Amino acid sequence: MTRYPLAPVTFLTRNMTKIMPMVGVIVLATLLVAGIVAIMDSIPLSIRTTYGYSKNYLGVSPRGDNDLTPKLRRILEEESPVPIGDLMTCRASNFEVRSIVGPWQFVIIGLHDEDVKPYLDRMGGGKLVGRLPKAGLPEALVSAPLARNLGLGIGDQLLGPNTQDSYSALPVKVVGIVENPLWLALTSFEYLALYHLPPIDLLIAMSKDPARQAEMDSWTVARFEKERARVFTFAELEKQTDKMFEILYMILNVVIGLLVVVITVMMSLLMGIYVGQRMNEFGLLQALGFTRERLVRRSLAEALIVVGLGWASGVLVSFGFLSLIKAVLFEPNAFMLDPLAPRAYAYTLPIPVAIALAVSWNVVNRFRRFDPIAVIERRSA
């Protein structure tokens, strides 16, 4: 197929060495912005993933008086508009997991023997390597991502007396690892009751229909507002996470805004040089009979192709880079990173838009003051 010699693509494909620096700048800018946003986003994503188990149930803790637990249980049983499947009493304690921003507190839940299987079923089950913890013994069951995060295998210590942040009076060893994508850590109710504070019985409430858990969560939060109780739901976690990152994202927006301005100015200058180098060509074409409008359209088309190519390549390079660091750095530690996060790429959109606007202005402005005769005579001189 013969391409029209003056098609924008002809110039671009035959002058790759001239356009590559501009494409490269846009690629790097896109990579920079997408990389920053994706890595920043990995923090709330990690929170949502690490504590994702709480999507499957709600937790209720009495405030100040352990004797309130039976009353709270009764309210749930008698008043919940959503039918309850399992209602478990448990104990909980904290230990540390590793995250991209340092250690995070995670919860180990102590369950009665009869509750362990329903609990795991609710979480989606999974192949169990090893066995379940025995009542009263310093044993724990963890899920595969958690084991990967802490580098644990069967027989390794999860909690112990020799660590301040994952403390237990006795060395708590991992006796089972369940192949489940959620982060889970379980021990026996009896062991936590014997060796861990606070001595508070918590409630775990699961809706009968898992699809109605969120509905039950909302009702419980509203119903227990005036009770001496605290309700833990996934929705609350999301709300807290969003609030926590509100200011961070505001700062991020400013940083990216500045970045876009700097890159746009830089690209505008580069494009100015690029268009300036071609004024002889435009002068000749205008002398031959090409209209100014046609040349402006052609220059704009070329500029937009460069910008579009740069951005599209930038998105691909970003995806490749993020996938690489996910595979090499994040996955082995069970850290979260989504190389396909739409938000990361949405944040890069102002780059091509701002550059396209600045370059269009530059091109139109140059042609407004352009006299082809001056170009031809200058070259003749």
Partner 1 sequence: MIQACGVGLEYADHGKSVCACAEIDLEVKPAEFLGVLGPSGSGKSSLLYLLSGLKRPTSGRVEYRGTSLSTMQDAERAALRWSKFGFVFQQPYLLGYLTAVENVTTGCPGTTMEEAMERLSILGLAEKAHRLPHELSGGERQRVCVARALAGSPEVVFADEPTANLDHTKGFEVVAALLQNRGEGALVLVTHDPAILKDANRTVTMNDGRLSCGMAPTRD
Q: Tell me which of 1, 5, 102, 342 binds partner 1, using CB under 8 A.
A: 5
Sequence-separated (6 or more) residues with CB below 8 Å from residue 274: 18, 19, 22
Task: Tally helices (H) and strands (E) across the chain.
Answer: 13, 10
Task: Give yes or no for residue 258 binding partner 1 (CB under 8 A).
Answer: no
| Structure token digits, residue 175 | 């006796």
Min. distance of Cβ 30 from partner 1 in angstroms? Answer: 27
Task: Give yes or no for residue 287 binding partner 1 (CB under 8 A).
Answer: yes
Question: Closest Cα to residue 33, out of 329, 354, 360, 306?
Answer: 354
For residues 110 and 91, the answer to whether their CB atoms sit within 8 Å is yes
Of 138-146, 171-179, 195-203, 369-377, which segment contacts partner 1 by CB under 8 A? 369-377
- Residues 79-108 interacting with partner 1 (rule: CB under 8 A): none
Whole-angstrom CA distances from 111 to 6, 88, 127, 132, 192 are 75, 8, 19, 11, 9
Question: Closest Cα to residue 37, out of 188, 221, 259?
Answer: 259
Give Cα 111 distance to the centre of its chain: 32
Helical packing angle, 279-288 and 292-325, nearest 10°: 140
Min. distance of Cβ 286 from partner 1 in angstroms? Answer: 7
User: How big is the site for partner 1, counted in residues (CB under 8 A)?
Assistant: 25
- Residues 229-248 interacting with partner 1 (rule: CB under 8 A): none
Q: How far apart are CA 302 and CA 280, in angstroms?
A: 17
Q: Tell me which of 243, 247, 342, 380 binds partner 1, using CB under 8 A.
A: 380
Task: Give yes or no for residue 77 binding partner 1 (CB under 8 A).
Answer: no
For residues 142 and 182, the answer to whether their CB atoms sit within 8 Å is no
Min. distance of Cβ 26 from partner 1 in angstroms? Answer: 22
Min. distance of Cβ 40 from partner 1 in angstroms? Answer: 43
Q: Tell me which of 10, 240, 253, 323 binds partner 1, using CB under 8 A.
A: 10
Min. distance of Cβ 291 from partner 1 in angstroms? Answer: 4
Task: Give yes or no for residue 286 binding partner 1 (CB under 8 A).
Answer: yes
For residues 133 and 141, the answer to whether their CB atoms sit within 8 Å is yes
Task: Give yes or no for residue 289 binding partner 1 (CB under 8 A).
Answer: yes
Judged by beta carbon, residue 164 or residue 380, the one nearer partner 1 is 380
DSSP class per residue in 119-142: HHHHTT--PEEE-PPPTTSSEEEE
Min. distance of Cβ 278 from partner 1 in angstroms? Answer: 10
Min. distance of Cβ 281 from partner 1 in angstroms? Answer: 6
Judged by beta carbon, residue 194 or residue 285, the one nearer partner 1 is 285
Task: Tell me which amino acid residue 139 is.
Answer: E
Q: Nearest-5° angle of CA 12, CA 278, CA 371?
A: 140
Q: Tell me which of 291, 332, 340, 343 binds partner 1, using CB under 8 A.
A: 291
What value does the CA radius of gyration of the chain take, rounded to a whole number of Å?
Answer: 31
| Structure token digits, residue 212 | 């109605």
Q: Tell me which of 167, 245, 249, 290 binds partner 1, using CB under 8 A.
A: 290
Judged by beta carbon, residue 271 or residue 358, the one nearer partner 1 is 271
Q: Tell me which of 28, 36, 285, 353 binds partner 1, using CB under 8 A.
A: 285
Q: Nearest-5° angle of CA 168, CA 169, CA 173?
A: 60
Judged by beta carbon, residue 6 or residue 329, the one nearer partner 1 is 6
- Residues 136-165 interacting with partner 1 (rule: CB under 8 A): none
What is the largest distance, in Å, between two alpha-carbon atoms of the chain?
100
Task: Give yes or no for residue 281 binding partner 1 (CB under 8 A).
Answer: yes
- Residues 292-331 interacting with partner 1 (rule: CB under 8 A): 292-293
DSSP state of 327: I
Q: Tell me which of 280, 313, 333, 360 binds partner 1, using CB under 8 A.
A: 280
- Residues 12-41 interacting with partner 1 (rule: CB under 8 A): 14-15
- Coil, strand or helix: which one is 347? coil
Find tokens 């009353």 and name the residue.
71
Task: Give yes or no for residue 277 binding partner 1 (CB under 8 A).
Answer: no
Contact residues for partner 1 (CB under 8 A)?
A: 2, 5-6, 10-11, 14-15, 280-281, 284-293, 372-373, 376-377, 379-380
